[in-house]
């Protein structure tokens, strides 16, 4: 855990970042060294799959894209709009070196450019960036939701507005006023702020939102789902190796094995 953490300012995140535990907004992360096996293995690591701006799988898999419908909810004044390419494959957050990589590999619209390469060196083949697990920004969003759902919606609205205005979008106004409305807006803010950091599944499960991919800009119809909140496909199964190694577990205690969801018509 880090001492003295504070939210990243707009001037901190108006460029690809989130690569080092030295950033003042990190509370908890996985420290990676250049000599670690996960780095010396080459591209068998997190940043290889997630990083659009460093050498790795993302260069050849065309990277990771944000849900188009979610992207379109981000206000133009919000610095986070530049964490992804727009429909013209551009982002105001990129310098010339980063733009060159985007052009060379022809990344699709809505591809993420949130995560900087190691040491902010465009095209770096040393994938030794630290991995974020918890940032102080999430604490503000947790507080706003807790206030709204705990009987103080005005306080929750104020907490949310003050956070976003100070650190992401000075023009932001929270239109929601009810506890449920503020919770829904916090969920949207969490999806944007914490994108790519492995937290969305927990929100989907605790809020029972389901997973609706319609309108998300997925490249083909087989990827478009509308999964109900109680669909067992959202439940993690205990690995077979764990059941075999633990005499206290049986397959009968596992979550059900279910087929892949059926695609639905897109919006």
Which tokens is 148 given?
């709204």
- Predicted local distance difference test score (pLDDT) of residue 150: 98
Please state whether beta strands 211-212 and 226-227 pair in parallel, antiparallel, or not at all (unpaired).
antiparallel
For the chain, first and last CA: distance in Å?
43
Beta bridge partners of 111: 65
Token pair recorded at residue 191: 């999806």
Q: Which parts of the chain register pLDDT below 50? A: 1
CA 250 to CA 149: how far, in whole Å? 39
Taking the whole predicted model, whether its pTM rises above 0.75 is answered as yes
Facing residues of 17 across strands?
115
Residue 3: the pLDDT is: 63
Q: What is the pLDDT of residue 164?
A: 98
Question: Per residue in 242-264, pLDDT tens?
Answer: 999 999 999 999 999 999 999 99
- 233 near 201, Cβ under 8 Å? no
Domains of the chain by residue range: 26-133
**pLDDT, tens digit, 9 for 90 and up, residues 93-115:** 999 999 999 999 999 999 999 99
CA 267 to CA 254: how far, in whole Å?
A: 35
Cβ contacts of residue 218 below 8 Å, gap of 6+? 224, 266
């Amino acid at each position: 855990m880090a001492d003295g953490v504070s939210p990243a300012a707009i001037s901190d995140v108006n460029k690809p970042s989130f690569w080092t535990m030295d950033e003042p907004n990190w509370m908890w992360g996985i420290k990676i060294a250049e000599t670690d096996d996960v780095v010396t293995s080459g591209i068998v690591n997190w940043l290889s799959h997630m990083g659009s701006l460093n050498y790795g799988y993302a260069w050849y898999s065309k990277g990771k894209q944000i849900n188009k419908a979610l992207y379109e909810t981000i206000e133009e004044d919000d610095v986070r709009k530049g964490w992804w390419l727009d429909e013209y494959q551009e982002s105001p957050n990129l310098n010339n070196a980063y733009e060159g990589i985007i052009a060379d590999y022809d990344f699709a619209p809505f591809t993420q450019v949130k995560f900087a390469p190691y040491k902010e060196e465009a095209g770096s083949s040393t994938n030794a960036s630290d991995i974020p697990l918890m940032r102080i920004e999430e604490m503000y969003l947790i507080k706003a939701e807790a206030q709204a759902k705990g009987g103080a919606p005005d306080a929750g609205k104020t907490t949310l507005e003050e956070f976003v205005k100070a650190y992401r979008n000075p023009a932001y106004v929270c239109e929601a006023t009810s506890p449920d409305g503020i919770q829904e807006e916090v969920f949207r803010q969490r999806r944007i702020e914490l994108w790519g950091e492995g937290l969305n599944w927990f929100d989907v499960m605790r809020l029972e939102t389901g997973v609706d991919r319609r309108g998300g800009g997925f490249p083909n119809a087989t990827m478009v789902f509308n999964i109900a909140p109680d669909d067992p496909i959202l439940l993690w199964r205990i690995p077979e190796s764990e059941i075999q190694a633990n005499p206290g577990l049986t397959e009968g205690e596992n979550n059900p094995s279910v087929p892949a969801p059926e695609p639905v018509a897109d919006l």
